[in-house]
Structure 1
Amino acid sequence: MPRIKKYCEQDVIEKATVLFWKHGYQATSMQMLEKAMGINKFSIYASFKNKEGVFLACIKAYKEKSKEMFQRFHNGNQGVADIKQLFYDSMCTWYQNDEKKGCFVTQSYQEFAETEAIFKNEIWDREGIKELFRIKLAKDPQKDEETLNKQVNFLILSLQSLGTITKVSCPNEVKDYIEMVFNRI
């Protein structure tokens, strides 16, 4: 007879996300997950198979929460203004309850930047976002291919930077940063 779960999977994933967000994947142990999630290792293994499974569930849940923001970005037809709005929407997502959290996806992507971790591509579709930046920037017919390439690269690096600086900077400083980024476009 199968065991009945005595916990809400969404709740335990949120707790695990906070732990991974704070400590990173490598520094988070199964014991830490067990304590933070409030469930035993048997339940963790039964539901998620292993630490990697918990982490992937956290990434999936985090991305699901951002889905509406990215859908709005994808569907927008205002070119550069859509990209700028994405930056502001992202900033608002990363400041929660007056906490400086930064971006969980950016932090995780950076942790695996030097490795060929099997879930590196699961974390962030960097190339997909770059392509959307290109499409939105190309709405300006005066931009040549070289300018488009440089601006796409500048924006993707700026978005990654934004995910990091929101962890250590106050909202007013980040707003100034965003304004300066878009003064360059």
Structure 2
Amino acid sequence: MPRKKSYEDNDVIEKATELFWRNGYQNTSMSLLESTMGINKFSIYASFGSKQGVFIASLQAYRTLHSTAIIKLKQSNQGLMAIKTFFYDCLDIYHDTDCSKGCLMSNTRAQLNNHKETKILAEIQSFVDYQRQLFIDKLLEHGLDQSTAVKQANYLIITKQSISAASKVHPIEQVHDYIEFTFNAISATHTH
């Protein structure tokens, strides 16, 4: 008869997500996962299969953390301003009380850029592609043609990744200025 688990997957994944977010995928060892999650390696392997399995579950939990901001973006009829609000909502997610950790997915993507963790990179790319498509949809609502909307969405995805990195090293007020300047510049191109 199988033993009953003494933990909830969601609880231990929340702890693992925080650990990966602070340390990065490569700097998080199984022993660190054990001590942080409060379960042993056997339980980790039984529930998640591997460190990679824990990380993919953490990425999915991270996506869930963004769900309110994503739904707000998706349901908004404010076009470009909806994307700007989404940037601020994401910035709130990156920041906690003591520091900014940036975006878990952007951090991981940069760390694993030339790595063979294809499952992890595919999970991240799927989230980036989803956001990019939402940006295109909002820009089309703003009155842009398809080609221009795609180019601006590409620009905004890269800008969002830049904001993630900047939020880790610059005062929040400077990051806010960066967001404001970005959207003022884009808005100016829409009026010409």
TM-score normalised per structure 1: 0.90
1:126 corresponding residue in structure 2: 128
Specify the SS of the correspondent of 1:102. coil
Q: 1:73, 1:171 → 2: CA distance? A: 22
**Is the CA contact (8 Å cut-off) linking 1:44 and 1:50 kept in structure 2?**
yes
Shift of 1:45: 0.9
Shift of 1:66: 1.2
The answer to whether 1:105 aligns with 2:105 is yes
Q: Deviations over 1:138-161 (max 9, x none)?
A: 2343x4555434322221110111
What RMSD, in angstroms, separates the aligned Cα atoms of the two structures? 1.7
Shift of 1:181: 0.9
**Is the CA contact (8 Å cut-off) linking 1:21 and 1:104 kept in structure 2?**
yes
* Higher mean displacement: 128-137 or 82-91: 128-137
The answer to whether 1:158 aligns with 2:159 is yes
| Identical counterparts, % of pairs | 43
2:184 corresponding residue in structure 1: 183
**Is the CA contact (8 Å cut-off) linking 1:134 and 1:152 kept in structure 2?**
yes
Q: 2:113, 2:165 → 1: CA distance? A: 14
1:136 corresponding residue in structure 2: 138
Shift of 1:114: 2.5
Q: 2:115, 2:95 → 1: CA distance? A: 29
Q: 1:10, 1:97 → 2: CA distance? A: 22
Q: Deviations over 1:94-123 (max 9, x none)?
A: 111242111112112222333451221212
Q: 1:140, 1:63 → 2: CA distance? A: 26
Opposite residue 130 of structure 2, the aligned amino acid is G
Shift of 1:91: 0.7
Shift of 1:2: 1.0
Kindly tell me the number of residue pairs found equivalent between the two proteins. 184
Shift of 1:85: 0.5
1:81-120 pair list within 5 angstroms: 81-116=81-116, 117-120=118-121
The answer to whether 1:51 aligns with 2:56 is no
In structure 1, the gaps of 5 or more residues are none
With over 3 angstroms needed to count, the CA separation of the structure-2 counterparts of 1:29 and 1:98, relative to structure 1, is closer
Opposite residue 33 of structure 1, the aligned amino acid is L
In structure 2, the gaps of 5 or more residues are 187-192
